[in-house]
A and B are shown apart, each in its own frame.
Chain A
């Protein structure tokens, strides 16, 4: 394993006008890890993902990916370097078929001649064979989440950011999804950073958890440490819960 973390974010700040959505956040993800990023609604998790993946330009701070300073790089260059992602509010290519959507991702590493094998492989892995010819706008949420994962995988990433990929899935779908992520992590050595509200998924998947609240990172540690951390419980349940628990 590399000594260098695959992703290293230092003091990253992203503002929207007066609102500081992410405030001097620092975090590291090591190669091969599955790290969970949790926090209440509006904590700044999606904004942090957007700043890491190149969609937003942070006001301050740096993002190092695979040892390169990628702060302010254009998204497609960061993708070429090996990072990909999915979206909380799904952003599949609405007017394209599942297969074409995946193919757009696959063009990141493949050309017209050898793209098809990659497309077929990813479509199979993500269980999209039956709906490969369907147009994305006709699909339900569970399918769209799979399409987004497939499209991201088709770019052949070394690191994947998943933004609430479990939201809206039922228990069965969630279990399948978690198995797939574990498998990709173990067999394809993909590093994951997952934003997740579904605690079952966070606890079941992540080796390490980072907690964001009001734009600031307030805790980081193993799932066990985090679930016993007073500041985290406070952020989630309010002060009274902490008192109640301590009594």
Chain B
């Protein structure tokens, strides 16, 4: 009982760090552009397929594939922004909703056509095996992914607070009109924001592919996970995002250990609903 719980918590914490990374992509797009991208989970799914394609074509390790997939997803983000998102900004909210849900369906269908329905996984990762600590086991690939995720989130915090582009993004988030009147080009700032959000899913996708497989409907899970993390964290606090990611990871993991592996998303969904009921701006949110 105690062992199972501890093991579940360890696994959950490691997964949670990765969930925080995935949610970071959603969070900056939502927080800065006020765009709710319902296709976010499918960006992760697409990224995982790209990792699969790159990894199998070049015989690369999954964790190395973001070197190629991140620039690709950056480009995909820019194209998606200018072709679709930009045109929804001055429209009613339902238009944005319809467009991103449409994008989600489009990406899912495309994945189904290109890679068919069977799950794909990369065969081998150099970070295989376990680290044994007492009675507990830590999957090396998960530990590695969690550490990379946390380092990247810290890097993003630095980028947002200390660079020209990061400051422009925060200014646009606070007051788009005032920012543009002070010389901030909002098209470029938004395109950059969306592209960064998109390339974050490439990094996350590569990391996840080092220990999981991908399938065309896998995006649903990552979408729900990111919304749950974001709802729990609230907007504007990156440490909050990490804590929320870990809570979600642990809840998911404990649901799997103690309830039923098939209901892993049930626990996550339950937190999502609870937060919306009890604390709509999240645990750490400022609005």
Contact = CB atoms under 8 A, between A and B. Distances in A.
B183 A53 contact: no
Nearest to B174: A93
Given A84-B182, A152-B182, A75 B177 contact: yes
A85 B170 contact: no
A62 B173 CA distance: 30
Among B174, B181, B185, find the residue whose CB has the most chain A CB atoms closer than 10 A: B181
A92 B164 CA distance: 17
A103 interface: yes
Contacts of A107: 164, 167-168, 183-184
A87 B163 contact: no
A91 B175 contact: yes
Among A75, A85, A111, find the residue whose CB has the most chain B CB atoms closer than 10 A: A75
B184 A76 contact: yes
Interface stretch (A94-102, A169-177, A198-206): A94-102
Contacts of A152: 182
Contact of A112 (B164, B170, B173): B164
A55 B184 contact: no
A155 interface: yes
B139 interface: no
Contacts of B171: 93, 96, 101, 104
Contacts of B125: none
A74 B180 CA distance: 8
Contacts of B286: 95
B182 A151 contact: yes
Given A76-B186, A112-B164, A54 B170 contact: no
Nearest to A154: B182
Contacts of B182: 76, 79, 84, 104-105, 108, 151-152, 154-155
A239 interface: no
Nearest to B183: A108
Contacts of B167: 96, 100, 103-104, 107
A132 to B, nearest CB: 15
Interface residues of B, number: 22
Interface of B: 163-164, 167-168, 170-171, 173-175, 177-187, 236, 286
Nearest to A105: B182
B174 A95 contact: yes
Interface of B is mostly: helix
B181 A95 contact: no
Interface in A134-157: 151-152, 154-155
A147 B135 CA distance: 58
Nearest to B180: A75
A107 to B, nearest CB: 6
A116 B207 CA distance: 38
A158 B52 CA distance: 55
Contacts of A74: 180, 185-187
Contacts of A84: 181-182
Contact of B178 (A80, A87, A154): A87
A106 to B, nearest CB: 9
Contacts of A154: 182
A160 to B, nearest CB: 12
B114 to A, nearest CB: 38
Nearest to A96: B170
Contacts of A53: 181
B184 to A, nearest CB: 6
6 contacts: A53-B181, A55-B180, A87-B178, A96-B167, A96-B171, A151-B182
Contact of B183 (A55, A76, A92): A76
B181 A104 contact: no
A155 B174 contact: no
Contacts of B186: 74, 76
A93 B184 contact: no
B167 to A, nearest CB: 6
A65 to B, nearest CB: 13
Query: Top 6 closest A-B pairs, CB basis?
Result: A108-B183, A75-B180, A91-B178, A93-B174, A79-B183, A104-B171
A100 B163 CA distance: 10
A93 B181 contact: no
A76 B174 contact: no
Contacts of B181: 53-55, 75-76, 78-79, 84-85
A246 B236 CA distance: 61
A59 to B, nearest CB: 17
A95 B171 CA distance: 8
B4 to A, nearest CB: 42
A91 B177 contact: yes
B172 to A, nearest CB: 9
B108 to A, nearest CB: 35
Among A101, A115, A152, find the residue whose CB has the most chain B CB atoms closer than 10 A: A101
